Homo-oligomer: A and B are copies of this chain.
Amino acid sequence: MELLEQRIKKDGRVFPGNILKVDNFLNHRIDVNLLEKMGEEFYRLFKDCGVNKILTIEASGIAIACMTALKFNVPFVFAKKNQTKNISADVYTSKVTSYTHGRVYDVMVSKEYLNPGDRVLIIDDFLANGKALEGLIDIVIQAGADVVGAGIAIEKCFQPGGKELREKGIRIESLAMIKSLDNNTVVFC
């Protein structure tokens, strides 16, 4: 998606350790007009797949999922990372290793909100090692629902998540695919 690639070139910042910061428009300060275009693009890509539910994970996935759900006219569910007083104990859970936070956490979705027969599009901001996405797929499978595919804003193609999950038959559509972040420079595929 040309618009997103241009924005990454303009406002993305590369830090040591292959970290791409897109805080300026995607996951701290949010450009809702850009997200609306991203939602339209995910709709164009998956509109014939019978999607009736969108699943994402807090916190950075929520805004993208929100704009995508609006285009599909379906509800979205966001998986939670920590058990709170206000979430039912009756949840699907999966363990995820976070590269960003350097820890393992439980991802949770209330059993009420994913059902057999649901056709689920998973949305997230980044795909790198694929651990968050694997956790979400695991939860959809536990619910007896179908994973239609995954819509990702930015894929780091030099990390293995995308390749591994595509080899397992998951359809993944990434709006910006990054080949390299070497020398503080973003190179797209």
Interface residues of A (CB under 8 A from B): 19, 21, 23-25, 27-33, 35-36, 58-59, 62-63, 66-67, 69-70, 73-78, 80, 82, 84-88, 100-102, 109-110, 112-113
* B residues near A69, Cβ cutoff 8 Å: 30, 32
Say which residue of B33, B78, B80, B100 sits within 8 Å of A73 (CB atoms).
B33
B62 touches A66 (CB 8 A): yes
Cα–Cα distance between A86 and B27 once the two chains are bound (Å)? 10
The oligomer's copy count stands at 2
Given contact pairs A23-B88, A84-B101, A86-B19, A28 touches B77 in the complex (Cβ within 8 A): yes
CB distance from A39 to the nearest CB of B (A): 10
10 cross-chain pairs, A with B, having the tightest CB-CB distances, nearest first: A58-B59, A62-B62, A29-B113, A32-B69, A59-B59, A63-B66, A66-B66, A32-B70, A29-B77, A30-B76
* B residues near A70, Cβ cutoff 8 Å: 32, 36, 67
* B residues near A33, Cβ cutoff 8 Å: 73
Given contact pairs A58-B59, A85-B19, A66 touches B32 in the complex (Cβ within 8 A): yes
Given contact pairs A23-B110, A62-B63, A62-B66, A30 touches B77 in the complex (Cβ within 8 A): yes
Cα–Cα distance between A100 and B87 once the two chains are bound (Å)? 10
CB distance from A120 to the nearest CB of B (A): 12
Say which residue of B31, B59, B101 sits within 8 Å of A62 (CB atoms).
B59
* B residues near A59, Cβ cutoff 8 Å: 58-59, 62, 78, 80
Cα–Cα distance between A179 and B77 once the two chains are bound (Å)? 29
A30 touches B85 (CB 8 A): no
CB distance from A31 to the nearest CB of B (A): 6
B87 touches A23 (CB 8 A): yes
